[in-house]
Amino acid sequence: MKKYIILVASIVFILSISAVSAGLLDGLFDGSNTPINSNEKAEFKIYGYAPMPVEKQLDIIKKKPADFNNNETRDWLKTINNYLIYDTGHEFIVMNKTESEKIPVIDNGTDLNDVKYNIIKCTVVESHSLGSRFKNCILVKDVEVIGNTSVKLNRNDHMFDLK
């Protein structure tokens, strides 16, 4: 009986240590694999089209207040006027105009079967959530363009086939 109690206590102790460690690591990386405020630069693959002004994203948020219910992020976006947003498909990458000028526009969005991306490395300053179903807004600095790539899609790759 004593061995059983010691075994159960050991398992509970190990699980609690694991949970605390996971929580600390999750907090350090803001729930993602993106290092925040570290010496390590993060790499992102952003769509190759022109960025969207933060003010335009705020207009979208204002039109759907029930969906974008994170007032803290909305208020933060209001403080960074004249910044630009790039989309990765998973996050919004936010930077000032000086950093944005380093990134070429390589896609005019007319060929839906050829998706072009810029690959950048940058320092992540902070990350904010737009809500549980939405992309995070990640503020970056020290942007450097690593290269670009494109992905050719064929009709079978499309998620929604309009026949």
Which tokens belong to 66? 């029930």
Asked if residue 140 and residue 127 are part of one domain, the reply reads yes
Q: Indicate the pLDDT class of residue 18, thresholds 50, 70 and 90.
A: very low
DSSP secondary structure string, 14-54? HHHHHHHHHHHHHHHTTTTT--BSSSSPEEEEEESSPPEEH
pTM above 0.85, yes or no: no
Q: Which residue has the tokens 């969207």?
A: 52
- What pLDDT is stored for residue 152 in this prediction? 84
CA distance 90 to 95: 16
Residue 101 lies in a domain: yes
Asked if residue 71 and residue 3 are part of one domain, the reply reads no
Which of 1-15, 23-37, 39-53, 103-117 ranks highest by mean pLDDT?
39-53
Tally of structural domains, the chain? 2
User: Residue 127 is part of which domain span?
Assistant: 32-153
Q: What does each C-alpha distance from 15 to 8, 22, 152 come to in angstroms?
A: 11, 10, 45
Q: Indicate the pLDDT class of residue 43, thresholds 50, 70 and 90.
A: very high
Asked if residue 20 and residue 64 are part of one domain, the reply reads no
Task: Say if residue 22's pLDDT is above 60.
Answer: no
Query: Which H or E element spans position 101?
Result: none
